[in-house]
A and B are shown apart, each in its own frame.
Chain A
């Protein structure tokens, strides 16, 4: 079993739809959770990060973490064609004095159709 699993898609939605992207993980030590967006032929860029369980909102984006279920989500409201990209979840475990290396999921490809 991989440490972080993510539905690869591709996911295709009409403009204005609400998008739900999800990841599951197996390591209960993960405490720092991130979502990255990667456009074609570009490096990943950090969208949001959050610690432990709960919700965090930033504009049209909401990150949700459920540690009891080992499940994280990213919601995109009012999706736009410019949101078309691959979305990567990533997480890290705390190792005493600092966080361990970042583990990425395989990514979900999203297309928002005008």
Chain B
């Protein structure tokens, strides 16, 4: 059974770069799409972006200038970098797999990691 686990610092200072990694077990990332979603405390879900096995990326236009998603096939993981963070970037960050069949869906998801932006 495939499992995803987010890892990285849980506290980031304003103006710095948020960096998270999603470690995939029970399957290869050399398939489909892999993405990031976030959820500010008490709020709804926001799609951040996605990377295809080819390396092609798609980002939310609202974050595009600050986001980079990359993948490391040799380590079976993919990563998120978000630059110039502010308090508004405080959120639970989830990684997930997108299967683009019959319209597609996200499954499975990681358990999520709360990243707080504060000095």
Instruction: Tell whether A pairs with B.
Output: no
